[in-house]
């Protein structure tokens, strides 16, 4: 199965998370305790396409919910050949580093509260 997306959980770019628990890039590139709101804002600011999934959790970090699914490749149906959607980012780690850098920039500019969480529907009992 060919996959055209990559997934980014907040723990992938969290400097307080150990590699064993899910951190994907070096601590120098990471940010401290990113929230899903900050991750979504950075995702939009970087110009990525994809979707936000607020109800998903990482297996080792299941108390923090939310992830971003990023369109990374375009797949030709006939030849099954992958082409990068954004040639500036060659691999997953470069995207994770870009998201962390954008979160740092947004924190410096106090733009962390601009994204609203998706509303949860009230269920009647």
The tens digit of pLDDT for each residue in 79-105 reads 888 888 888 888 889 999 999 999 999
* Number of compact structural domains in the chain: 1
| Inter-residue contact 82 to 73 (CB < 8 Å) | yes
Evaluate if residue 31 carries a pLDDT over 90. yes
- pLDDT given at position 3: 72
- pLDDT given at position 104: 92
Whether 28 maps to a domain, the answer reads yes
- pLDDT given at position 28: 92
CATH number, domain of 70, equals 3.30.56.30
Q: For 83-98, b where at least 16 C-beta lie within 10 A, e where not — what string?
A: eeebeebeebeebbbb
On average, the pLDDT of the chain sits at 83
The tens digit of pLDDT for each residue in 50-83 reads 888 888 888 887 788 888 988 888 888 888 888 8
Whether 103 maps to a domain, the answer reads yes
Q: Which residues form the domain of 11? A: 5-108
Whether 88 maps to a domain, the answer reads yes
Whether 117 maps to a domain, the answer reads no
Whether 116 maps to a domain, the answer reads no
- pLDDT given at position 122: 54
């Amino acid at each position: 199965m060919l996959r055209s997306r990559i997934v980014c959980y907040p723990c992938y770019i969290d400097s307080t998370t150990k590699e064993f628990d899910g951190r994907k890039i070096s601590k120098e590139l990471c940010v401290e305790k990113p929230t899903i709101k900050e991750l979504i804002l950075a995702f939009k600011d970087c110009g990525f396409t994809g979707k936000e999934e607020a109800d998903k959790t990482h297996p080792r970090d299941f108390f923090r919910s939310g992830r971003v699914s990023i369109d990374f490749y375009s797949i030709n149906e006939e030849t099954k050949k992958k082409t990068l959607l954004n040639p500036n980012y060659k691999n997953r780690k470069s995207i994770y580093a870009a998201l962390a850098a954008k979160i740092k920039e947004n924190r410096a500019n106090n733009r962390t509260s601009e994204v609203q969480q998706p509303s949860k529907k009230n269920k009647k009992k």
